[in-house]
Structure 1
């Protein structure tokens, strides 16, 4: 396999200088640095670079950050002996993508693991390695295929490699149940705390928590909500979800009321496209859309102030799904969750999963 040496030099002529390579301007460098890339790495690229073109084709900062991190991890997994630069990062722009093969990627995908933090019997979180889910491996396959496709567009990768990547079969693996159902007394404690806040930041956080718990939004979808997405007549919300898919869904009072309270109170400050933006320390909203990591911080802070254990934002979505299955059935829950198939919805039913686990453990003890 190819090795990338220190200071981003390569044994291979990966990105030869040429008259058709346009250096990136300072504002473009600043833009790509937002995605978690160092300035030195970005400046080693050029406007027509396949990776630059791929990131430029994405629709949101959230997607760019996510894809950038995946590209970095793929590079490290494909070339485990790679010598990284001084900042402990692989330069994805000088990485020898055109030397990678679909067969090597398929082997990497098969053995792919992820880090999980699982509570032991004492309630202490332990770091564990677990097989990556089918969904995660399909996501990595999709990103790798896109990277190689952009290289194929400039004749640096044969089209046959793209076809070979497309033919890779990603099989489902047996994985332990992750996630949890949030008890009513726990999320009500957080809601009570947030309802006491009257600042712009506090009312924003209350609306976000309500949309996660009572509308089942993903944390990455919060920052994408725009004022025009709200249907005030129908009391519904147009949600910009995965894969740039749009879906309008009704909002229950528990989600609608905190959202309206936030908008009604802070309307003068909301003269911008995105409703949920980052907040400054002086409680004013900035023009920067709130990112997923910001949503996670907001929930952690609210839980700490409410005196309850930290809640993962996606567990609020799991709780929403479980409650809707119990009340309305799987088909309605699938529609509200915007799942492509009911099997995915069934996996979100945390009460059924917990009951199954208890029965299994009981049988194991008495078997």
Structure 2
């Protein structure tokens, strides 16, 4: 029933009006396409303007059998956003998901690595190859600056303000921020940039991109995941880690060493301090230490 036009208009709204990233917009689109597939499989012909809450409830029941509560909650949230958009554009008068509650998921704390575990990962890199020097610079940058993997893959040479001690990051919604860079991270980036990268035949359009593959193209997010997973296997690290684990470890270690949440929020590029609180878990020993150090009744 011509859902495509509504989906395309909605995605344009997310990009232009709300300034969301390409990845976020694609994820919203996947949720709606999943609903469309359900309608097709069950031979339900209805437009987004006419679909009822009963039909959507059936869809949610079917989703609940296939995905975990966290994914289910994300799908419900994405669809609620879509129907709110239809109300905003006067296509509908109501949101058929308004009375459908998301499952309670609790707060899932991402895995974090100790400084020793991060050192072990970096020490396991084979530095006899050009890719090894690049991979060391990549891990040092992810952990040293707390970057998202998409921010790392799009980092440009012209974004490096080493004399000032910062790098410029383009984050979600094309929002820019400046992140401090430490001496060690700077050192390994310079080794890669000055000694390895000049030996590559760089493809047109990537002349300013910092981290490249051996063919002179921008690295993919999947490649960064693979590099980190392979290193974890090499050192026998039995944790479910990803590039985001290094970002979370960056924030956690800053907090444990006395940094305030507001500073961490700015470095991570979070719009809301609430998001930072989700990333930065506090163990009880640290909370006790904070109370005994700073409370007047210690």
TM-score (norm 1): 0.59
Give the match for residue 307 of structure 1: 236
Give the match for residue 275 of structure 2: 344
User: Among 192, 197, 221, which residue is 2:123 paired with?
Assistant: 192
State how far apart, in whole Å, the 1-side matches of 2:25 and 2:168 are. 24
Give the match for residue 202 of structure 1: 132
Tell me if structure 1 keeps the 8 A contact 2:256–2:286: no
Q: Where does the alignment leave 5 or more consecutive residues of structure 2 unmatched? A: 288-298
Give the match for residue 123 of structure 1: none
User: Among 266, 277, 293, which residue is 1:335 paired with?
Assistant: 266
- What SS class does the counterpart of residue 248 from structure 1 fall into? strand
User: Among 271, 283, 291, which residue is 2:220 paired with?
Assistant: 291
Q: Where does the alignment leave 5 or more consecutive residues of structure 1 unmatched? A: 1-11, 16-44, 85-94, 116-126, 150-156, 357-367
Q: State the number of aligned residues.
A: 273
Higher helix share: 2
For the structure 1 residues 58 and 340, does the alpha-carbon distance in structure 2 shift closer, same or farther, using more than 3 Å as the test? closer
Tell me if structure 2 keeps the 8 A contact 1:239–1:248: yes
Aligned-pair CA distance for 1:333: 1.5
Give the match for residue 77 of structure 1: 35
Tell me if structure 2 keeps the 8 A contact 1:102–1:161: no
User: Among 177, 180, 198, which residue is 2:111 paired with?
Assistant: 180
Q: Which has the higher contact order (CA 8 A, sep 6+)?
A: 2
Higher strand share: 1
Tell me if structure 2 keeps the 8 A contact 1:101–1:161: no
User: Among 176, 180, 185, which residue is 1:255 paired with?
Assistant: 185
Give per-residue Cα distances to partners, 1:24-52, cap 9 Å, x unaligned: xxxxxxxxxxxxxxxxxxxxx9xx99739
Tell me if structure 1 keeps the 8 A contact 2:143–2:246: yes
Tell me if structure 1 keeps the 8 A contact 2:153–2:211: yes
- Is the aligned partner of 1:130 residue 2:88? no
Compare 212-221 and 169-178 and name the one that shifted more: 169-178
Tell me if structure 1 keeps the 8 A contact 2:31–2:78: no
For the structure 1 residues 242 and 299, does the alpha-carbon distance in structure 2 shift closer, same or farther, using more than 3 Å as the test? same
- What SS class does the counterpart of residue 169 from structure 2 fall into? strand
Aligned-pair CA distance for 1:295: 1.5
- Is the aligned partner of 1:234 residue 2:164? yes
Aligned-pair CA distance for 1:176: 4.3
State how far apart, in whole Å, the 2-side matches of 1:178 and 1:238 are. 28
